[in-house]
A and B are shown apart, each in its own frame.
Chain A
Amino acid sequence: MNRRRKLIGGGVIIAAALAYMIYAGVTQSAAYFVTPAELRASAVPGKAYRLGGMVVPGSLKWEPRSLDLSFTLSDGIATAPVRYKGTPPDMFGEGRGAVLEGSWTADGYFKANLIMAKHSEEYKAPHDKSEAGYRELFKTLRGEGR
């Protein structure tokens, strides 16, 4: 009986330690998923958020030398200015969806640490216009290469 008690005691200690670790982990790394409208309504500067929305066409600015990327994210109701340091990832662009990890700053913009471009798993049927675009790009590069 004594041994059994010890065993149960050990189990309780392990379970408690695990529960504490999970609790601490969640409180430290939980990020609320918000839309620009929700963010603008109640943003707490410095708190971690996941911000989801669409990149407003015409808002994207990319400065390759300084690696400064800025754009506006919209959910159709409100918009949020975003700044990021680094190359825009694949699948990222104006008019496309994106989910950002980062925080709201006191200076009134969202500072993104990570951009996850949203894209569907299915691929669109070949699009004549975009294909022409690729061909043109291809040609300029070819010409340059020679």
Chain B
Amino acid sequence: MTADLGYGMTLVALGLAVYGGVAAGVGARTGRLALVESAQHAVLGVFVLVTSGFALLTYAFLTFDFSVRYVATNTNLGTPFYYRITGVWGALEGSIILWSWMLALYTLILILRHRVGARELYPWALATMLGILAFFLLVMTVAAPPFQRQVPVPADGRGLNPLLQDTGMITHPVALYLGFTGFTVPFAFAMAALITGRIGDTWLVLTRRWIIVAWYFLSLGLLIGGWWSYHVLGWGGYWAWDPVENAAFMPWLTGTAFLHSVMIQERRRMLRLWNISLVILTFGLTLFGTFLTRSGVIASVHAFTQGSIGVLFLSFLAVVLLTALALVAWRWDALRSEGELDSVVSRESAFLLNNVLLVAAAFTVFFGTVFPLLSEAVRGVKVSVGAPFFNQVNVPLFLSLVFLMGVGPLIAWRRASLDNLKRNFLWPVALGIVAAAAAFALGVPSLLAALTFATTVFVAVTIALDFTRATRVRLRLGESLLPTMGRLLLRHNRRYGGFVVHLGILIIALGVMGSHAWSVQTETTLHRGETAELAGYRFRFDGLSAVEESNHFKVVGEFTVSNGRALGVLRPAKKFYPQAQAPIAYVDYRLGLREDLYLVLGDFTRDGSQATVKLQVNRLVSWIWIGGVVLTLGALLAILPERHKSV
């Protein structure tokens, strides 16, 4: 019953989206506004239907309606209330419906915001959005239907993947998908610009806040994903260069490049072709990421043909890219830039280099991720490159990018004079060198760590320099300090939002560097009462106990921690889900600004007298999360409406 109702709604929504897309397209071509208006109504209909479908699925989860196959597979009677809600997007079918809902929501916002302001571009952007929405609704009906009957209705479901039963999983997919779908809007406007031939700066001005919004959510999603990996997966790391992570990271890299190159086009009328290409690439990568992670192609080239989802996504990706490329070729002459690069020592070239490096990083991640597939397809042997490859290639790229973060915002447009360079970079460079020397004197373990530290200090000083100068000018006009700083942030919120984001990235860079350079770990087996020692900490094993939770058993180890004085008890555990093939580890940790204590329970004897435990002291990892908070605050500041007025 529920399944049929939901399936019916999906079908009607699909029909409406197809109609709306055609209507908007024809309306745009013939200039018949009535058709465009009709398409708007169709969007409203799709939004209401998808929202209802989503609500229906959530209701089915909350009421244990196991007549729906997706519900029966992803929840069971013991699942707590909030994991029944997150179970809705815990697997493929549900994430597609979440994706479609967000796309419908964004389309609706696009109508509300741009219906009046952007006459020529708007109908085509609407048509593009509806076309993409129709594709996702098609996926929902044929390839990954969330509404499918389960016959016979089972007494209990199978339950949600235990690893996903964590608070991080409530927000992570939502943020990530808001980011992915957010890049659809700039893409839609880029297509509209190509189709209408109005490839000036209008489409960029219209979409620049959309880009920041999408970037904000994608960053948030990546950060929460890292946090989830750190505190749930129990390997002590936050980033593994796993294909799933790479799939989300690639559009972030190209999206970041786009965010910067937009400024060059706005200011200097350059890089038109490049910007259009970047937005196409970013949108394409969001589709490619979904293809990569959901089609089974990672396991083997030959796996993806088994399910229809891979074929569907790959075909759609091909259609999107070919259409976009054809449009670019058609408008080739108009896309040639008006502006020219005047000098290599200028803000334009710093931004250009930033873009080249970001795209290069995206390419290496792409290459490393698909390398096993390529070698299997071409040579018939599976060869994989692991984390060492990604680190080795990307670390120099990222370090150069951090360095450019200091140069770009301060160097002069067009051609930087020696005076300009001296004025802006003398102090930062000097202090960066001092920082490197100090780092060596204090015994930094590697050249790379010292270099990272120096670069970070260099960039931080440029930001401080810029901000104090701007504040000082205003103070001279007789304003007082704190209100001045506040006004400065709000008036030039895009510029200073950007600076705050950069600050967040610096903090993250220090956290990453610190955790790589200084973290230590050991693994040991302890009898009850025995003590292990690591990095000045003592861990005493006090025994095991068993706890019964609503949907699993838990075996909990007790470890008393001290470093001279008592620091409390850590309780890593193993969880036994009846429906899972094997137990999963439950990490316990004690976070700190300097270092985290991180315990993973391994094997143990049944009588509880002996347990194997992995002990880690992870250094500076907390700064990654702190930097993440700073970064998102900066992005929020940049999203605020801009008010240029008095200087």
Query: A93 within 8 Å of B by Cβ?
Result: yes
Interface string of B423-435 (1 = CB under 8 A from A): 0000000000000
Taking CB atoms, residues of chain A closer than 8 Å to B158 are 122-125
Q: Which residue of A lies closest to B610 (CB)?
A: A64
User: Are A31 and B545 also in contact (CB < 8 A) when A6-B344, A22-B393 are?
Assistant: no
Q: How far is the CB of A144 from chain B (nearest CB, A)?
A: 5
User: Are A141 and B392 also in contact (CB < 8 A) when A22-B364, A87-B612 are?
Assistant: no
User: Are A30 and B384 also in contact (CB < 8 A) when A87-B603, A121-B161 are?
Assistant: yes
User: Are A126 and B545 also in contact (CB < 8 A) when A29-B389, A62-B603 are?
Assistant: no
A124–B162 alpha-carbon span in the complex (Å): 12
Stretch at the interface among B4-12, B173-181, B495-503, B577-585: B577-585
A25, B392: Cβ atoms closer than 8 Å: yes
A124–B602 alpha-carbon span in the complex (Å): 23
Taking CB atoms, residues of chain B closer than 8 Å to A90 are 234, 574, 582-585
A25, B389: Cβ atoms closer than 8 Å: yes
User: Are A14 and B360 also in contact (CB < 8 A) when A33-B372, A62-B603, A64-B612 are?
Assistant: yes
Residues of chain B at interface, number, CB under 8 A:
59
User: Are A31 and B603 also in contact (CB < 8 A) when A67-B524, A144-B544 are?
Assistant: no
Q: Which residue of B lies closest to A86 (CB)?
A: B523
Q: Which of B364, B392, B581, B585 touches A28 (beta carbons < 8 Å)?
A: B392
A134, B553: Cβ atoms closer than 8 Å: yes
Q: Which of B73, B386, B579, B584 touches A31 (beta carbons < 8 Å)?
A: B386
Interface string of B554-594 (1 = CB under 8 A from A): 01000000000000000000101111111111000000000
Interface string of B44-66 (1 = CB under 8 A from A): 00000000000000000000000
A22–B579 alpha-carbon span in the complex (Å): 43
Query: 8 Å CB contacts to A: which residues of B147-199?
Result: 156, 158-159, 161
Query: B445 within 8 Å of A by Cβ?
Result: no
A122, B73: Cβ atoms closer than 8 Å: yes
A21–B385 alpha-carbon span in the complex (Å): 13
Q: Which residue of A lies closest to B160 (CB)?
A: A123
Q: Which residue of A lies closest to B343 (CB)?
A: A3
Query: 8 Å CB contacts to A: which residues of B360-389?
Result: 360, 363-364, 367-368, 371-372, 381-386, 388-389
Q: Which residue of A lies closest to B607 (CB)?
A: A144
B579, A125: Cβ atoms closer than 8 Å: yes
Q: Which residue of A lies closest to B608 (CB)?
A: A144
Taking CB atoms, residues of chain A closer than 8 Å to B363 are 18
Query: A5 within 8 Å of B by Cβ?
Result: no
- Which of A29, A50, A120 has the most C-beta atoms of chain B within 10 angstroms of its own C-beta? A29
User: Are A22 and B367 also in contact (CB < 8 A) when A6-B344, A123-B581 are?
Assistant: yes
Query: A75 within 8 Å of B by Cβ?
Result: no
Taking CB atoms, residues of chain B closer than 8 Å to A88 are 602-603
Q: How far is the CB of A63 from chain B (nearest CB, A)?
A: 9
Query: B614 within 8 Å of A by Cβ?
Result: yes
Q: How far is the CB of B607 from chain A (nearest CB, A)?
A: 6
Query: A91 within 8 Å of B by Cβ?
Result: yes
B341, A21: Cβ atoms closer than 8 Å: no
Q: How far is the CB of A91 from chain B (nearest CB, A)?
A: 4
Q: How far is the CB of A3 from chain B (nearest CB, A)?
A: 7
B-side residues, CB < 8 A to A, are 73, 91, 156, 158-159, 161, 234, 340-341, 344, 356, 360, 363-364, 367-368, 371-372, 381-386, 388-389, 392-393, 396, 523-525, 543-546, 548, 553, 555, 574, 576-585, 602-603, 605-608, 610, 612, 614
A-side residues, CB < 8 A to B, are 3, 6-7, 10-11, 14, 18, 21-22, 24-26, 28-33, 50, 62, 64-65, 67, 86-88, 90-93, 96, 101, 117, 119-127, 130-131, 134, 137-138, 140-142, 144-145
Counting from the closest, the 10 A-B pairs by CB-CB distance are A87-B602, A33-B382, A141-B546, A64-B525, A29-B388, A29-B389, A25-B389, A91-B582, A145-B545, A144-B608
